[in-house]
């Protein structure tokens, strides 16, 4: 993965991007045969590395962005390294699990899957998941969806469009698939926190880069009208999509 879309807003990303649900990691724990080493690819601030660290002996967590890695919460059994997804320092047939959370659409998939096939143990699990958009209620969703998918359309990289348009349906995994249940990430945000989450989006950052202004200024009023009391916390849901496979 040669693109780094998240360093500039890494602190906001760490604070306001959703954390993944416990039942996702319970599913992983049930599916892995051994729990010696996991590799969390494009770990960002480590949000998908911390939970596996509770049931794996060790987690190797890598990211392209040095800035993102400065926001991790250290754990004794997680090693954080600045590495490309397509060029890992792990030995052959090493991890029992590879996870890629909200990132595989940025990768050179051919090179990454070749690297995953090299390092993953036989019988090991490869699981990529993501989300594309969020839901609050009908009024709020109408404003946020138009902003995200229409107003910002020309400012999204092709990988991001692939994520929220295709939702990994056409993603060709390298090993036999395992059926996965539905997963939903949830949080309760004020209007300010939702805006900070949206500020972390790569499409917003690209707009700022090209236009020199924050596009969120243009939707604050309609979003406030849809939200109501800006101090009121509302549940925001991110429906996850993904694919999971096992190296045979």
Domain annotation for the chain: domains and CATH numbers = 10-135+157-186+238-246 (3.40.50.150)
pTM for the complete prediction? 0.90
Q: Name the CA dihedral angle for 207, 8, 101, 216, rounded to a multiple of 10 degrees.
A: -40
Burial (CB count within 10 angstroms: exposed 0-12, middle 13-18, buried 19+), residue 76? exposed
**Average model confidence (pLDDT) across the chain:** 92
Q: Does pLDDT of 76 surpass 90?
A: yes
Give the per-residue pLDDT at 67: 84
| 104 vs 3, residue with greater confidence | 104
Cα 240 from Cα 7, distance rounded (Å): 23
Residue 14 — very low, low, confident or very high, per pLDDT cuts 50/70/90?
low
CA angle in degrees (0–180, nearest 5) for 82-52-37: 65
Using alpha carbons only, how large is the chain's radius of gyration in Å? Answer: 18
């Amino acid at each position: 993965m040669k693109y780094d879309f998240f360093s500039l807003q890494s602190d906001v990303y760490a604070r306001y991007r959703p954390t993944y649900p416990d039942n996702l990691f319970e599913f992983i724990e049930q599916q892995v045969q051994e729990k010696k080493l996991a590799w969390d690819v494009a770990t960002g601030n480590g949000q998908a590395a911390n939970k596996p660290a509770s049931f794996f002996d060790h987690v190797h967590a890598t990211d392209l962005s040095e800035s993102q890695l400065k926001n991790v919460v250290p754990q004794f059994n997680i090693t954080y390294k600045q590495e490309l997804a397509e060029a890992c320092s792990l030995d052959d047939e090493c991890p029992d699990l590879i996870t890629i959370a909200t990132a595989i659409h940025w990768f050179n998939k051919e090179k990454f899957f070749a690297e995953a096939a090299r390092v993953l143990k036989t019988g090991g699990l490869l699981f990529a998941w993501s989300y594309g958009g969020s839901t609050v209620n009908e009024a709020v969703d109408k404003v946020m969806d138009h902003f995200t998918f229409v107003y910002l359309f020309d400012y999204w990289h092709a990988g991001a469009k692939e994520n929220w348009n295709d939702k990994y349906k056409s993603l060709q995994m390298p090993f036999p698939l395992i059926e996965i249940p539905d997963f939903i990430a949830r949080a309760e945000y004020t209007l300010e926190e939702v805006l900070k989450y949206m500020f972390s989006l790569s499409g917003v950052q690209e707009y700022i880069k090209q236009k020199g202004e924050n596009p969120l200024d243009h939707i604050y009023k309609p979003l406030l009208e849809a939200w109501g009391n800006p101090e009121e916390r509302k549940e925001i849901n991110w429906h996850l999509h993904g694919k999971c496979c096992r190296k045979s």
